[in-house]
Every structure is written in structure tokens, then in C-alpha cells.
Amino acid sequence: MKKRNCIFTIIVCLSICLRGQNLVKNPSFEEFEECPKKMGNIGVDVLYWGAATEGTTDYFNVCSSFMGVPKNFNGSQNADFGKGYAGLYFLAPNDYREYLQGELSQTLEKGQHYKLSFYLNLADKSTYAIKKIGVLFAKNKIEEEINQPLNFAEIQKEKNVFNYMEIDKNRFLSNKKKWMYVSTEIVANGDENYIVLGNFKNNKSTVYYKMHGVKGAAYYYIDNVTLEKTENTNYEDLVLDKTYVFDRVFFSTDEFKLNSKAKIELDKLYKELKSNPEFYITVHAHTDADGTHDYNKILSRKRAKSVAAYLVSLGLNKKRIRWEGHGGNKPVAQNDTENGKQKNRRAEFSISKNPFIDKGAYAETLFEDEN
């Protein structure tokens, strides 16, 4: 058994290297000491993972019958990758909580941007689905003798420096059949060594949705946790007539509004445009393959216009910007996964020093509505 586990671990490591350096140890829960035989044993069974509290976070693997894959006590689900995954309660009666805590391979670098992603699946027997997921990066390992929501004040008393955020997908995480791709970005404090996933709010403060199920709780499976460095956005030394993809300007399905991360990036771009009054910018926006051609064309135009309008609101002269929507005609990834669709719902721009004489055959300007 241990020999087979080692061979599988080598394969996992090779696949991770091909994607880039993942700083999460044992990201798909494939390295384990024992085949799981009972609930709440993840800290004993799995290498580099455990629970941050006395909540009984679970481990599932194909080698087990009771804690099996795909069938187990909370439903049936194949692993997203490999043979195992974790499971925990994000919502339960009496504010009961479970957390999943993992060890990072190195301390995060101060000021460095990182992308966190993982796959999530709502267990069949769950009655509720939640909307937000808490993510905590901590300097020291958290070991609290509670089974209710983690209290930040108590953690701070122990001088366990942390970096906390919430992932809000603008929709309820309610898919019981397919794995849902979840991601966010962080800027590191420079002392993070552990990651904790869970719901850090009590039941009253949790946004949830009632579904069909036999357990009055929200129980999720988690697999394939990835934390990778991303390039820090820097708009100095822009190359003329080169197409740049905005690092953080991505859109939710059917949405064209800019979120706070997108606005922060556009603020940086505006400063560079302000410093170079000879620059003219063209914004391009795209959709995934869902929806009709005409609908996607209109949606992409709205996305491009929202970027252009925000830059104008910062002070950019309208004569220096134009925009274009391409619909789903120019994908950069496959549209058969949530991750691929998210990459296709993107915005881009290019810089030139040629004034816009007219809107041309394809680009539009903000003057259209005014005329």
C-alpha cells in the first residue's frame, strides 16, 4: 500500500510542476498514513492536513468502505483528482463548525500576490448551501479547543498573526453533482505558513439557501487545493501595440460590473496613462461560450464599456480611449470547465500613440450614447 502511495505521489508532484509551483503540501490529499476507517480523523490519516479546532473534519478515500469514494455517509462523489478528498461542515445546528487546515511548503513573501484555488462539492444529504467561504492564512498552526466558529480576537491574543478574506461567488455553492471551481487572490503579509478553510461566521450571520436534503446542515467535499504566485501588476514600460490581459479584471457569469480588485488594477493603469498623455488605449472584452452569439456580443460590449467608463471617471480624456466587445469568438481556454470559462470572461487592452480619428470599422467610443 505505502509503495503504491509513493508512486502516486510522484505522479501528483509531476503534474503540479507542469502547472507551476503549488505551495500547498499534499494538495489533493493523496499522501496518507492510514486508509480512513472513521470520521474526524484527517489529522491522523493525512500528511500535512488537519483540523484547526475540535471539529471533526473528515477524510475520504477509495480504499475505505465507510469513508469511501465515491460512496460515503454523506452521499456519493468521485474525487476531482486522484483517490481522496476532505469533507467538513460549513453550517450546522448550534453553530457547530469544522475547519480544514493545511501546511504551506514555504513562508509567503511580503507584498507578493498569490492565487488560491480549490474544488468544492456540496454533499448529497446537505439541506443548505452557503454563499461565502472564509480563508485564513496564519503564521502559526491553529489548535483551538472549540467546535464553534473561530474567534479572531482569541487568535490574536496568542500572537498568531493572520491574513483573512472571504470568497464570495455571487451565487450559492449548491452543485451536488459537479465539482465547483473556487478561487481568490491575496497579497501576503510575509509571515503566513498555514491555510485554514471554513465558515468563520455563526449561523445568524451566514448567508445560506435551503435545498432538498436529509441533514439540516451544509457539508462540502474539498479537493485539489492550489496556492501559486501571480505576477504583481506593473504597468511601467508599456509596449506599444501589444495586447495585455488584465490580471484581475474578470467577470462573473452574465455580469459586466467591475469588482473592487478590478478597480484597484485599473487605478494603477490610469496612473501610467496620466503620466503619458501621448498614450491612447483600446479596451477589448470577451465572454465564455455559454449563451447565444448575439447575447454574448452585447454582454462583451458592456464589459469593455464598463472598463472604459471607469478609466474616464478617474480623469482619462474620452478622446484617448475606445472599446470593443468580441463575444465568445476569441477564447484563450477550453469552455468545458469553470476554470476555463473564467479565463475566457476577460478584459484586455492595447496602447498606441496614434490619435483616434474616428471609431473605425470595429471599435466604439463613449460618445455613442451621448450622440
Instruction: Please report which confidence band the pLDDT of residue 17 belongs to, taking 50, 70 and 90 as the band edges.
Output: very low
The reported pLDDT for the residue numbered 7 is: 43
The reported pLDDT for the residue numbered 158 is: 62
Instruction: Please report which confidence band the pLDDT of residue 236 belongs to, taking 50, 70 and 90 as the band edges.
Output: confident
- The arithmetic mean of pLDDT across residues 11-24, rounded, is 57
Q: Omega of the bond prior to 93 within 30 degrees of 0, cis? A: no
Work out the mean pLDDT of the chain and round it to a whole number.
87
The reported pLDDT for the residue numbered 10 is: 43
The reported pLDDT for the residue numbered 20 is: 57
Answer yes or no: is pLDDT of 361 > 80: no
pTM of the model: 0.66
CA distance 13 to 7: 10
The reported pLDDT for the residue numbered 230 is: 79
Least confident among 63-72, 142-151, 344-353, 355-364 = 355-364
CA distance 137 to 342: 24
CA distance 359 to 289: 27
| 337-349 pLDDT, tens digit each | 877 888 888 899 9
Answer yes or no: is pLDDT of 272 > 60: yes
Say if CB 266 and CB 311 are below 8 A apart: yes
Answer yes or no: is pLDDT of 3 > 70: no
- The arithmetic mean of pLDDT across residues 33-38, rounded, is 95
| 64-86 pLDDT, tens digit each | 999 999 999 999 999 999 999 99
Residue 48: alpha-carbon gap to chain centroid = 21
Answer yes or no: is pLDDT of 14 > 60: no
Instruction: List strand residue ranges (DSSP E) for 149-286, in order.
Output: 162-168, 180-187, 194-198, 208-210, 218-229, 244-250, 280-285
| 108-131 pLDDT, tens digit each | 998 788 889 999 999 999 999 999
CA distance 42 to 174: 24
Residue 37: Cβ within 10 Å count: 12
Instruction: Please report which confidence band the pLDDT of residue 2 belongs to, taking 50, 70 and 90 as the band edges.
Output: very low
CA distance 304 to 210: 36
The reported pLDDT for the residue numbered 171 is: 85
Answer yes or no: is pLDDT of 227 > 70: yes
